[in-house]
Amino acid sequence: MDFYPGDNYVDWIGVSVFGQIMGSNASNIYYVAEKTKELHKPLMIAESTPYGVQTIYGAYSWSEWFWPIFNFIEKYDVKMFSYINSDWEELPMFQGQGWGNARIEADSYVQGKWLQRMSNSVYMHASTNLFQLLGYSP
């Protein structure tokens, strides 16, 4: 991690996860996750979407991208997970580039599995007492 400025400057370490969780760049993400554990810093997935897999293929989409990312979250105790829920094909600059439809609600199988995962108490969601749940009090 040549660009790591030091513990005095870093509170969190983040990765972006698109198609890499199961692709050729997966080793980079796992490397950062291992380093994060060594440094005793919280790990975040700062942005993610199933590039190249989409959500519209149901069980295939789940097994190829979602299942691996949730396993990664659990294995490395990821503290923050941000998912980009977008139909990339509707955005002119992303059309025809393989991004596809990443909306959870685009497929009932994916949506059902997502809701099941998100109902686990390990995942926190927006609420009026979120800061209290996080142990923060101004």
pLDDT, tens digit (0-9, with 9 covering 90-100), for 62-107: 999 999 999 999 999 999 999 999 999 999 999 999 999 999 999 9
- Nearest alpha-carbon partner for 48 in 30, 28, 21: 21
Question: What is the spatial order of strands in the sheet that 43-48 belongs to?
Answer: 13-17, 43-48, 80-81
Q: Angle 26-39/67-75 helices, nearest 10 degrees? A: 20
28 in a domain, yes or no?
yes
What's the total number of domains in the chain? 1
pLDDT at 20 (0 to 100): 66
pLDDT at 10 (0 to 100): 95
pLDDT at 133 (0 to 100): 82
38 in a domain, yes or no?
yes
82 in a domain, yes or no?
yes
Residues of the chain with pLDDT > 90, as a percent, come to 76
124 in a domain, yes or no?
yes
138 in a domain, yes or no?
no
pLDDT at 44 (0 to 100): 97
6 in a domain, yes or no?
no
pLDDT, tens digit (0-9, with 9 covering 90-100), for 26-53: 888 999 999 999 999 999 999 999 999 9
Q: What CATH number corresponds to the domain at position 34? A: 3.20.20.80
Domain that holds residue 54: 13-133
2 in a domain, yes or no?
no
User: Which residues fall within 8 angstroms of residue 96, CB to CB, at 6 or more apart?
Assistant: 89
Identity of the residue numbered 93: M
5 in a domain, yes or no?
no
